[in-house]
Structure 1
Amino acid sequence: MSTNVFILGAAEGGLHFNGGDIIFQLVMFIILLALVKKYAWGPLMGIMKQREEFVANEITAAEASRAEASKLLEEQRELLKQSRVEAGQLIENAKKQGEAQREDIITTARAEAERLKESARREIVQEKEKAVSALREQVASLSVLIASKVIEKELSEADQEKLIKEYIQEAGEER
């Protein structure tokens, strides 16, 4: 019974159903909806579409940049690897070249030492020959001197021996 009272009270209290107002409000709502769709919803969707495309382009660009960076990183790694190999080869070549130079220096030094030895040997032989020649000359001059002294005076064997020793001693002092 309480629901019946409300309907009767609403009808009596001035709540009444007016179809013209409802239709007017419905038409105004549809016009408002059309205006919002045309002037607000369309541009808003366009902006959203642009934003979506912008984000998609940024993602694509970021992926392309990442791929390029990865490619460059791999190239740099390869170049670094090649540089290390080349540096190793340069070091190895330098070692070989140093070893070859060392061998050349040793060979040259040995040859120079042999040359100096040979030169010293020749010089020793020459000096020896000079000394022997000088000694021969002295012995010859002493022999001549002794012979002349012996001829000048006849000496006994003891005197001759004494005379020879004196001349040998004199020859030693002259030297």
Structure 2
Amino acid sequence: MSEPETSGTHASQPRPVRLRDALLRARIEAADRTGVVVDLRDAEVARLEILNDALDPLFAQVPEQIDLFDRGISQGDAPRLWIDVVAHIVMGRDKRMYRFVQDSRFGRIVLAESHDTAVIVDAVTEYVARRMIEREHAMVVLPEPKPVAPEPPRRSRIWPFVFGFILGAAALFGVAVVAALQSW
């Protein structure tokens, strides 16, 4: 095997290796071995778990009140690492390539595709940032519009008509009375 890693202070003192890093390397090695073996689904799930662990620091920074993201690995014909309701990561045809896709009403859009987890983590980081900004824009409360001054109530047009009709009838009656008195 190789020499133990050493720190810069003393060459004889081995540098402590983080257990998490060692587990990550062991998972990668196991996933590489199982990628060649018959059970490819377990290899896919193992690779998605590795990526899921790599995304932990990103999602630790997302505020708790933002409930857009619900990560999880779904089992099925093609295991998927779901980021939110419309975006997920699935393994490519060679079972070693990560494919970050988003479902839209126009079909599936490939957002990123790579063998390297760091590239996919960067793509997911950009996606999460965009989704959070979209949420902020959607949550912006617009100022309430100034209330429009109500129109003065419309007066009924029937009463002037009735009054005019009565006045006209009275005038006609008066003219008829005057004409009748003159003819006498």
| More helix as a share of residues | 1
Name which one, 1 or 2, has greater alpha-carbon Rg.
1
Q: TM-score, normalising length from structure 2?
A: 0.28
Structure ranking higher in strand proportion: 2
The structure whose RCO (Cα within 8 Å, separation 6+) is larger is 1
